[in-house]
Amino acid sequence: MVIDFHSHIFTEEALKNAPKGMFSRYEEVFRKKWEPTILEKIVQDMDEAKVDKAVVVAIDAETTLNYKIPNEVVAEAVKKYPDRFIGFASVDPHKGVLAVKELEKAVKELGLKGLKLVPFMINVNLNDKILYPLYEKAQELEIPVLAHTGVMFDVGTRMKYCKPLDVDDVAVDFPDLKIVIAHFGWPWVDEAMAVCQKNRNVYFDIAGWSPKYLPESVVRFMGGMLADKALFATDYPLLPRKRVLNEFLALPIKEEAKKKILEENAKKLLKL
């Protein structure tokens, strides 16, 4: 089995409501036009790549950017393709106690299996105390937190909120909470690897990168001491899954480690 631990659904409404020019830099970097995603095309992309399941994430930056991919949209996608999609919720911490209630509803009523955080969209560092009630609830619900770290290209947002070292505070304060450092924290790669190595409850994914361009240190850690902490991920639709998977399989990593990264580590986090 192959599990893509990090991918997206972009609705027409969300793209229409996004701040003007917000995604223009992505179109330059990834050389593709930003368009609403269609569920059938997502599944087709998975089939072509022979990817069995994919985590699809909501996004909530409503109070700061008026931008949102609602939890209900993700839940509907999972309902339509329950054998293919695994849904992660997102809630805006600036909503206070309502955010905590929304997360609980997303898990208990909508059936979502994790929490996605976008610190650069909500202008909050990952170790900011405003997020602690959400971490506490996620720990109680026994769901993983997928936290964006490192570079992003959304126009008008700031990288300073996305440092993987901040995850160390969260991991220490919530030792039973499973946390995934998305995008392996680039350009703070050494920090990200150190945080994963230090903390039993911290993992990382390789979403948004063509594997043949992964930093050598990341490949070395994936194939070695952090093989139990790495997760295969694409950041679809930024990159097609077939390309990402084929390039990953070509990496100089032992087959035992590849199986962990493609399947076993995600199964443990998602309790599949």
Question: Which residues, including other chains, have CB under 8 Å from residue 71's CB and lie 6 or more apart?
Answer: 58, 60, 87, 89, 90, 91, 102, 105, 106, 110, 112
pLDDT of residue 92: 98
Residue 37, pLDDT > 90, answer: no
pLDDT of residue 121: 92
pLDDT above 90 coverage of the chain, percent: 84
pLDDT in tens, 208-267: 999 999 999 999 999 999 999 999 999 999 889 999 999 999 999 999 999 999 999 999
pLDDT in tens, 142-187: 999 999 999 776 667 788 999 999 999 999 999 999 999 999 999 9
Q: Which residues pair with 204 in a beta bridge?
A: 181, 230
Confidence category of residue 13, pLDDT binned at 50, 70, 90:
confident
Beta pairing, strands 115-117 & 230-231:
unpaired
> Which of the two residues, 1 and 29, has the higher pLDDT score?
1
Beta pairing, strands 67-69 & 59-61:
antiparallel
**pLDDT average, residue stretch 124-137:** 98
Q: Which residue, among 98, 174, 183, has the nearest Cα to 139 in the 3D structure? A: 174
Token readout for 112 is 């979502």
| Amino acid found at 74 | V
pLDDT of residue 56: 97
Q: What is the DSSP letter of 262?
A: I
Residues 123 and 154: beta-carbon distance below 8 Å? no
Domains and CATH numbers, the chain: 3-270 (3.20.20.140)
| Amino acid found at 8 | H
